[in-house]
Amino acid sequence: MKNLLLTTAIAFAFTAPAYASGSHDGGHDKVKVEEADGHGDHGGHGDENAEDAHGGEGHADGHAVMMIGKPGKEADVTRTIEVTMSENDDGEMLFEPTSLDIAKGETIRFSITNKGELEHEFVIDTLAGNAEHKEMMAKMDMEHDDPNSVRLDEGGSGEVIWSFVNEGTFEFACLIPGHYESGMHGPITVSEKMAQADVEYSTGKIKKINAKSGKVTIVHGPLLSLDMPAMTMVFRADEAMIAKMSEGQNIEFVADRVKGKLTVTEMK
């Protein structure tokens, strides 16, 4: 685990702007498959994809380039996203985060941890691809070993490295029978640019900070994204966020519901 954390930290430290290298395929049309340049590892790849369950999307040379993209290479990773899988006491099965926003051209390392007490999997595909796959799984729970998925025993961790070469709305899911229906799916939005610019900041003044309990009281203007009027409220904030705050400070911030609690997620 320590190793994984360290790797993740390094990956973050070297995270490059997501679309810095997007221009080399500029002339191609959207679903066009990137050709052989840079694929030095043909031999090792072919057999992994030999039994491609997503017929039609596979490529003649054995590289399964799917609508959602293609297996990514360690060296190309631009960002790591931690994903956890778990169950709760209400019988729901959960992914955290619940949705993923990705910029076209990013190669993502999904670092997946199964914090639950059941076996789970993380599969990324189109909605149709997942639906088809789910139907097959319902007939027979088979364990796949495709590069777009990882299946983990309780307490296990693993990763999927994936290059998102097409824009669109895709899906991450657990297709073990019954799990999708219990909540284990969420959207993956791949867009030309990250949706960051859409985030609306609200103004506020920090009235009180309780670092111990991770709470901060803010006298704030309207919270547009949450459809709330101006008032004084208590928000959650993590340690790093609280470290940047001081009482009496005027801030611009974004609040969102994190695990049901209003939390300061961005501040400037």
List residues binding Cu ion (CB under 5 A): 120, 174, 176, 179, 184
Task: At 22, give phi and psi (nearest 5°).
Answer: -75, -10
As a whole number of angstroms, the distance between CA 248 and CA 126 comes to 48
Least gap, CB of 120 to Cu ion (angstroms) = 3
Of 104 and 120, nearer to Cu ion (C-beta) is: 120
Least gap, CB of 187 to Cu ion (angstroms) = 17
Q: Given 3-state DSSP classes, what are the helix, strand and coil percentages for the chain, each rounded to the nearest 5?
A: 20, 35, 45
As a whole number of angstroms, the distance between CA 229 and CA 249 comes to 20
Least gap, CB of 156 to Cu ion (angstroms) = 12
Of 106 and 159, nearer to Cu ion (C-beta) is: 159
Of 17 and 187, nearer to Cu ion (C-beta) is: 187
Least gap, CB of 138 to Cu ion (angstroms) = 14
* Tokens 């994936």 found at: 162
Of 101 and 119, nearer to Cu ion (C-beta) is: 119
Phi-psi region of 12 (alpha: psi -120 to 50; beta: other; left: phi over 0): alpha
Residue type, 241: M
